Amino acid sequence: MSPVGRQMQNRRFGFYLLCTVIATSIAAAQVPDGPWMNPKLSPEKRADMVLKQLTLDEKLALLHGNGMAHAAQWQMPLSHLTDGGAGYVEGVKRLGIPPLVISDAGYGVRDSGANGRYSTAMPSSLGASASWDQDSACDFGTLIGQELRAQGFNMTLGGGVDLVREPRNGRSFEYAGEDPLLAGTVVGKLMRCEQAQHVVGDIKHYVMNDQETGRFFVNAVISKRAMQESDLLAFHIAISIANPGAVMCSYNRINGDFGCENSYTLRDVLENEWGFKGFVISDWGGTHSTEKASAAGLDQEQPMADFFGPKLKEAVEAGKVPLSEIDEHARRILYAEFLSGIVDDPPQKGVVDVEKGLEVSKEIEEKSIVLLKNSPTVLPINVSKVQTIAIIGGHADVGMISGGGSAQVDPPGGNAIMPPGKGATIWQKPVWFPTSPLKALQTKLPNAKIGFDPGTDPKSAANLAKSADLAIVFAYQWLAEDMDVPSLSLPNNQDALIEQVAAANPHTIVVLETGTVVTMPWIDKVAGVVEAWYAGSSGHKALANVLVGDVNPAGKLPLSFPKSEADLPHPDAPKIPSESQVHAGDVADNGAPTANASARAGYAVHYDEGPEVGYKWYEAQNKKPLFSFGFGLSYTTYAYSGLSVDSTARTARFTVKNTGKLTGTEITEVYGRLPKGSDESFKRLVGWKRITLAPGESQTVTVTIDDRVLKTFDEEKNAWNLSPGEYQVLAGSSSDDTPLTASLVIR
């Protein structure tokens, strides 16, 4: 370089350095230096400090949203600041309190495609819970938290933990099954790790949000005892693990009062009994009042300011809402911001690590796939014997289906079953990811001849199957928010398709891509059944790895599969009686029914089964499900022996041996049953442990018994009891297969 060039370069560097110093100085000058900015102080103390600095208008600004950019009915002056997400809440810039920029993120960041971004789709929450793996749950939450931050969001709306009481519920895939200990633990760990990425965590939909039919006004009628021992227990476990910044209250009513103005669930239980310190955020359009909701414990209305905006200020000024209530609401929101780390470490937009996301999603799906049936000669696919394979149905040539609604993740390139450029994600329309099982199997089995039939003509599909060594039918069931499925049968005549293919080829495997349970009238006619759930961005690769035996399946069901809907506590599908229909004139501008309409609707679901959810119901009713809770096969086999219980330490100890020829991972399950004479005789999950064993290897397993699920709730005393007596402890591979028994004595 010439001297002149070097001189010019030095001048440019000096100018750049000067600009950097000036910019840094300006930025430093803009950062508040109040004592609340000290990260060494507790979130409680920092929140109290900020609260003392706020005006009434600044407090009220924290208590409501500012619209939703993509919803025409939810528009406000600041809606454009939502970053394309679900909502925006003003911060307090002069004090260094950032706004809340909120996104749906049930199994990945929503609406990324619409905003020109990319998000990884994890397996559905229900699918991930089938891994029974807390480490996978943490990986799930960590990745979503990182991708939220990379897209500029600092609050998530994931964390669904409602128990699957009604398996036809369109949001079953967003939740984690039928057992409070499993669901609460998995979702709690997921959200704990997600919030650790410095986003405000959320647990939802609190509580009894069990169906979408009449979701804005259905009244869930259940005793306090039953609710405490089931759905509330799941939330308590999740919240105690996650310590989330927020809990979202639900649309439905609970024993007459809306979820977002229910003083029993919000004030009495969540805040007073459990000591929850974060804030209660309404579901979108789920606020119905000002004074009642504020007094009951709702802290923030979303997505608008219909009740917690000008009306709330008027109520304060008129003395109808005490200022202390406003202070409490604001304090809880400030606490959540400091707790989550978004004040000290705001998100910085960046590029999502696509490869990392794909790998994490694949690994979780590999652990979540459940092998439900397997003839010894069918799976894993024997590459030396299987030369021709017929792939049938499910759009398996191009992709795998995903769950819809506010949890929907946009697939790159759009809906895979649509022509290029025509595949935008649309509310209430099924969406397939570009994850082709056909292509994944072609990669894994390059020497096999693999043909495809769409399955639209069962006769054509049967002809292809008849000429193949192996037939694999891909069957799907689509679920989404704002709908329930009319039945648990596979839609679009898929049962008949499976019947004909199985009749043509005895070596037929059915791969299920479902968001909840399905009935299987063809179960005795097929050689194998694999439950893949909604498999996420790398589902095809994970599935192929399991089918060819590169991965030994270890997933187990997080909910029971009934033989028929007649075996359910509520055999008939949810349906609003005609006389209870909401009139169009009773619907508010935000799309939710008015309180008057809800009161007149009179639509209620009576949960007379109480805490007998899922496998507990089947045992109490002496009914055998098609596949039990906790069930899942492996390519190897296991033997259990030698159960002993330490009543003082409350642990169960037993031995498991791999009696097969392949290394595998077994999920060992421990159940407990209350002492004789109890009015609740069904077993309940009290603990589990995942172990990996080589062929012939034995391992002694110790599982801690969680006595929270052995307690009963006394409504009169509003207290939990752990009754003295002899409890039965059972260990085995599923809720229906517990060969080992021992006693736990509580004095």
**pLDDT by residue (tens digit) across 504-560?**
999 999 999 999 999 999 999 999 999 999 999 999 999 999 999 999 999 999 999
Residue 27 has pLDDT above 80, yes or no: no
| pLDDT attached to residue 320 | 98
Mean pLDDT of 157-167: 97
Q: Which residue has the higher pLDDT, 115 or 211?
A: 211
Closest by alpha carbon to 130, among 532, 490, 730?
Answer: 532
3-state SS class at 453: strand
Q: How many CB atoms lie within 10 A of CB 621?
A: 13
Helix or strand (DSSP H, E) at 466: helix 458-466
Give per-residue burial for 421-432: e unless 16+ CB within 10 Å, then b.
Answer: eebebeeeebbb
pLDDT > 90 in the chain, percent: 88
Q: What residue segments make up the domains of the chain, in order of their start?
A: 1-30, 37-66+83-340, 369-559, 636-746
3-state SS class at 433: strand
2: CB partners within 8 A, 6+ apart: none
> Does 3.40.50.1700 match the CATH number of domain 369-559?
yes
Q: In what order do the strands lie in the sheet containing 528-531?
A: 370-374, 528-531, 508-513, 470-476, 388-392, 449-453
81: CB partners within 8 A, 6+ apart: 66, 88, 99, 101
How does pLDDT run across 683-728, given as a tens digit for each residue? 999 999 999 999 999 999 999 999 999 999 999 999 999 999 999 9
Q: Say how far apart CA 363 and CA 536 lie, in whole Å.
A: 11
How does pLDDT run across 94-129, given as a tens digit for each residue? 999 999 999 999 999 999 888 889 999 999 999 999
Paired strand residues for 684: 672
650: CB partners within 8 A, 6+ apart: 704, 705, 707, 744
Which one-letter amino acid corresponds to residue 580? S
3-state helix, strand, coil in the chain (%, to 5): 35, 20, 45
Which one-letter amino acid corresponds to residue 624? K
Fold (CATH) for 37-66+83-340: TIM Barrel (3.20.20)
Paired strand residues for 252: none
For residue 195 the two structure tokens come to 């919030």
Phi then psi for residue 443, to 5 deg, are: -70, -40
How does pLDDT run across 374-400, given as a tens digit for each residue? 998 899 999 889 999 999 999 999 999
* Mean of pLDDT over the chain: 93
How does pLDDT run across 238-263, given as a tens digit for each residue? 999 999 999 999 999 999 999 999 99
| pLDDT attached to residue 605 | 97
Residue 5 has pLDDT above 80, yes or no: no
Q: How many CB atoms lie within 10 A of CB 52?
A: 8
How does pLDDT run across 50-103, given as a tens digit for each residue? 999 999 999 999 999 999 998 999 999 999 999 999 999 999 999 999 999 999
Residue 11 has pLDDT above 50, yes or no: no
Mean pLDDT of 138-166: 98
Q: In what order do the strands lie in the sheet containing 740-746?
A: 684-693, 664-673, 725-732, 740-746
Instruction: Please report which confidence band the pLDDT of residue 578 belongs to, taking 50, 70 and 90 as the band edges.
Output: low
> Does 2.60.40.10 match the CATH number of domain 636-746?
yes
27: CB partners within 8 A, 6+ apart: none
Q: Strands 100-103 and 87-89, how do they pair?
A: antiparallel
Contact yes or no for 92/54 (Cβ under 8 A): yes
| pLDDT attached to residue 116 | 87
Paired strand residues for 391: 452, 472
| pLDDT attached to residue 16 | 37
Q: Report the alpha-carbon angle 9-13-17, nearest 5.
A: 170
Contact yes or no for 422/433 (Cβ under 8 A): no
Closest by alpha carbon to 194, among 202, 206, 183?
Answer: 202
| pLDDT attached to residue 377 | 80
How does pLDDT run across 422-457, given as a tens digit for each residue? 888 889 899 999 999 999 999 999 999 999 999 999
